[in-house]
């Protein structure tokens, strides 16, 4: 069943409530989900205009974080990075220098190196993304087309024009690799440096 997709990729429990929704539904409602979590945060968070940062998180110089966002304990956001469109960083998640993260969930201990773009995606536990890798969220060359995913030999429309990837726990994505929109990576997948992953080439 489609509602079981998350459990095949992400071990539970997690800091972010990955309920029985398909991943693209989680991403498309991420803004409101994060806003609903903000009032439940404890005193160890500083909350300003819809952005919550745990007191143990380290935020580098010249970082821009647009609401809503939750940056949990022991997170790191490197200098000159840009977080927007609804971003949730679970405990221990790291974003290196000069990255852009848009409408995404970064789960426990995942690491995005530097000079990366991650758009409309869910990144599992202990994932490592090397420098320069891009997780695309939109088919620029397919005018008006919605993003599709491939599950059990079926091509399924997400109904969205923007959906990036579901990256399972423990994946390794090499430097300058590109994940095309609608990528689903099973836990432990290795994407080699400079590799293009395109699961829906039509």
The boundaries of the domain holding residue 149 are: 2-197
Region of 28 on the Ramachandran plot (φ > 0 left; ψ -120 to 50 alpha; else beta):
alpha
Domain count, the chain: 1
pLDDT for 2 equals 63
Residue 136 counted as domain residue: yes
Distance between CA 138 and CA 127 in Å, rounded? Answer: 22
Distance between CA 30 and CA 19 in Å, rounded? Answer: 12
Segment 180-199, tens digit of pLDDT: 999 999 999 999 999 999 99
Query: Does position 143 have pLDDT exceeding 90, yes or no?
Result: no
Residue 129 counted as domain residue: yes
Share of the chain above pLDDT 70, in %: 98
Residue 59 CB contacts under 8 Å (≥ 6 apart), including other chains: 53, 65, 71, 77
Distance between CA 19 and CA 27 in Å, rounded? Answer: 12
Confidence of residue 142 (pLDDT cuts 50, 70, 90): confident
Residues belonging to the active site: 114
120-125 average pLDDT score: 98
Residue 64 counted as domain residue: yes
Distance between CA 81 and CA 68 in Å, rounded? Answer: 16
pLDDT for 202 equals 75
pLDDT for 18 equals 87
Query: Does position 26 have pLDDT exceeding 80, yes or no?
Result: yes
Distance between CA 26 and CA 48 in Å, rounded? Answer: 24
3-state secondary structure of 55: coil
Residue 106, Cβ neighbours under 10 Å: how many? 32
Q: Whole-structure pTM over 0.85, yes or no?
A: yes
Segment 104-118, tens digit of pLDDT: 999 999 999 999 999
Distance between CA 126 and CA 105 in Å, rounded? Answer: 13
Residue 202 counted as domain residue: no
Segment 56-97, tens digit of pLDDT: 999 999 999 999 999 999 999 999 999 999 999 999 999 999
The half-sphere exposure of 36 on its side-chain side, counting CA atoms within 13 A, is 7
CATH number at residue 94: 2.160.10.10
pLDDT for 3 equals 61
Residue 169 counted as domain residue: yes
Query: Does position 1 have pLDDT exceeding 60, yes or no?
Result: no
Rg (C-alpha) for the chain, rounded Å, is 16
Residue 98 counted as domain residue: yes
Residue 77, Cβ neighbours under 10 Å: how many? 28
């Amino acid at each position: 069943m489609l509602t079981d997709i998350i459990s095949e990729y992400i071990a539970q429990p997690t800091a972010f409530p990955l309920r029985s929704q398909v991943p693209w539904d989680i991403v498309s409602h991420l803004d409101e989900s994060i806003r609903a979590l903000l009032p439940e945060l404890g005193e160890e968070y500083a909350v300003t205009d819809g952005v919550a940062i745990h007191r143990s998180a380290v935020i580098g110089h010249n970082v821009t974080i647009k609401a809503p966002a939750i940056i949990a304990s022991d997170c790191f956001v490197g200098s000159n990075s840009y977080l927007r469109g609804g971003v949730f960083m679970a405990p221990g998640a790291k974003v290196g220098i000069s990255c852009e993260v848009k409408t995404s969930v970064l789960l426990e201990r995942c690491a995005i190196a530097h000079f990366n773009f991650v758009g409309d995606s869910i990144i599992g536990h202990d994932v490592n993304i090397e420098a320069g890798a891009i997780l695309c969220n939109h088919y620029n060359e397919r005018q008006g087309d919605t993003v599709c995913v491939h599950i059990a030999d079926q091509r399924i429309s997400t109904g969205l024009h923007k959906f990036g990837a579901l990256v399972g726990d423990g994946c390794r994505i090499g430097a300058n690799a590109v994940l095309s929109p609608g990528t689903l990576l099973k836990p432990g997948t290795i994407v080699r440096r400079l590799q293009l992953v395109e699961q829906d080439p039509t």
